[in-house]
Structure 1
Amino acid sequence: MGLWRAAKRLFHQATIGDQRYRFLFQPGPADEVVAIDCETTGLDVARDDIITIAAVKIRGDRILASERFQAILRPDARMEAEAIKVHHVFEREVEEKGRLIYKVLPELLHFIGARPLVGYYLDFDIAMLDKYVLPFIGIELPNRRIEVSSLYDERKYGDAPPGTTVDLSFNAILKDLGIPRLAQHDALNDALMTAMMYVALRDLKARGVRIPRPRSRPSVQPGGA
């Protein structure tokens, strides 16, 4: 954890508004993390809202698929046609099954607890959640963050020479790690695939194994034989 995040965590611990959520600062279960994913109405944190949230617990190298959290939310922002095409969550479904975010947050926070959070471009998901968590309990989520694209970058490109083309896309990570591609833009499926990425990358690092890169072709010098 960086110095800035560590200082921010101490500040939040001292200023938390709702004392019932002090458990977020207690030591979590040993060797447990939570893979989390949010699907949203768009990519503007200030303007858009969360449609669905899913989270899955991981203990060591085991994904506890039976210990998961799922929720459909009723967003304030109107769902655009493009968002519906991507997430396949229709306005009628949201109206019938969607719950208000402030009804869901207590369940989500108790599910997560103090465990580190794992995600793919996790900062965006956390920023979307913090938009609601901050006014709800008086602080932002204090949990340590583990970014799978950074873990992948280190295993594949950590020793790469300058000028190497870097691909940190979700599909590239799935392909290199041999993880089955579930239907994407579904919060639970994305959380499960992210969990599988984390477990695989953690294992590679523990064994000191790097992900191979295609060999670059040697350049042909002018006038060479």
Structure 2
Amino acid sequence: MIVITLTKVPRSLRGDLTKWCQEIQTGVYVGNVSARIRDQLWDRIMRDVGNGQATMVFNAQNEFGYQIRTTRIDYEVVDFDGIPLVKRLNRVEGPVKHGFSNAAKWRKAKKFTQKRVLSDNTISFISLDVETTGLDVSKDQIISIGAVKKSADGVKEKFYEFIKSDKKIPENITKLTGITNSILENEGVELSEALLKLKEFVEDTPIVGYNLSFDDKFISMAFRNLNESDLSNKLIDLMPVVKKKNKFLDDYRLGTVLEKYEIENLKPHESLSDADATMKLAEKLIKNGDLEI
């Protein structure tokens, strides 16, 4: 048996879950599926959760008889001698600066993405994308970071780093991204070095992304694991902007959206190529009056 709780997720995800589970209360789903279907459901949740939150509890052979997965970044599931425990994380160190928490960042992102006013084209902003070994922020790792910065005068700079990993990259990830263990070993840098370079690159410039909560969760977790301060940039997710403007797309994967806006992405699932395509998407949304940075 599995129990899934959802908060502030897209309706499409709720609809997908009702194919396998029964909604016994708003946002609470119960089902009895195989381990394979359970893992596929979690992959779908991680892909489509957007700015919302999700937690899954399922049967497992441990002392408690169950295991926990969650997308929440204020909690961490830890294994204590085979017992799953939920640890509440205190991410605030020193004086609280208003507007720099993740909740505040997403409120600001929602506020700005819902405005349908043509933005000043002289605004500088950055598009960001990461590739990872999987979808679980508590277990998987960042293996590449790509970003494109557009300056106020229209000049673009690019940032691209492979990240060394102490784990073998799953075959499906290599097939999807083209990234191999050999590439990471020969061309990769340590995560701490990549994050430092990323901070220097983004400075205080606004950041856009597609399904940006996914990238932000992995980057935030990486900074936390290194005991470093997180990025405090303004974050703007393009996915809700696109969904509001285009209500009848077959799906809202980046590839589908780029095709809708006639944007070519030569290397899908390469972080730099995805970041470049996302930059072009943001520029089109600005031009159409659907986005303000």
TM-score if structure 1 supplies the norm length?
Answer: 0.70
| Matching of residues 13-28 of structure 1 within 5 Å | none
Q: CA deviation at 1:206?
A: 6.1
Please give the per-residue CA displacement for 1:36-91, whole angstroms capped at 9, x wherever unaligned.
Answer: 11011111101010111110012469461xx1111011023321111111111111
Task: Report the CA distance between 1:125 and its aligned residue.
Answer: 0.7
1:168-179 map, 5 Å: 168-179=252-263
Q: Partner of 1:115 in structure 2?
A: 205
Structure 2 spans left out of the alignment, 5+ residues? 1-96, 105-121
Q: Which residue in 1 is equivalent to 2:187?
A: 97
Residue by residue, what CA displacement relative to the aligned partner does 1:183-207 show, whole Å, maximum 9, x if unpaired? 2011111001000000001111169
Alpha-carbon contact 1:39-1:51 (below 8 Å) kept: yes
SS at match of 1:205: coil
1:125 aligns with 2:209: no
Correspondence 1:88 to 2:172 = no
Picking from 279, 283, 292, the partner of 1:195 is 279
Percent of aligned pairs with the same amino acid = 25
Q: How many residues align?
A: 178
Take 1:186 and 1:43, find their aligned partners in 2: how far apart are those partners?
Answer: 16
| Structure 2: distance between partners of 1:155 and 1:60 | 26
Q: Does residue 148 of structure 1 match 2:238?
A: yes
Quick check: 1:50 aligned with 2:134?
Answer: no
What is the DSSP-based 3-state SS (H/G/I as helix, E as strand, rest coil) of the residue aligned with 1:199? helix
Matched position secondary structure for 1:196: helix
Q: Deviations over 1:117-153 (max 9, x none)?
A: 1111111111111112235464322211111112212
Q: Which runs of 5+ in 1 are unaligned?
A: 13-29, 158-163, 208-225
Partner residue in 1 for 2:62: none
- Cα RMSD after superposing both structures: 2.7
Is the contact made by 1:63 and 1:195 (CA closer than 8 Å) also made in structure 2? Answer: no
Match of 2:113 in 1: none
User: Which residue type is aligned with residue 271 of structure 2?
Assistant: A
Residue 172 of structure 1 deviates from its aligned partner by 2.4
**Residue identity in the other structure for 1:192:** D
Counterpart amino acid of residue 202 in structure 1:
I
Letter in 1 for 2:270: D
> Are the counterparts in 2 of residues 120 and 194 from structure 1 also a CA contact under 8 Å?
yes
Q: Cα gap change, 1:135/1:97 in structure 2, threshold over 3 Å: closer, same or farther? A: same
The structure with the greater share of residues assigned to strand is 2
2 CA distance for matches of 1:81 and 1:155? 36
TM-score by length of 2: 0.55
Distance 1:118 1:187 in 2: 14
Q: Which has the higher contact order (CA 8 A, sep 6+)?
A: 1
Q: Does 1:68 align with 2:158?
A: yes
Amino acid corresponding to residue 58 of structure 1 in structure 2: K
Cα displacement string for residues 88-126 of structure 1 (whole angstroms, at most 9, x for unaligned residues): 111111111111101222111010011111111111111
Distance in 1 (alpha carbons) for counterparts of 2:151 and 2:268 = 24
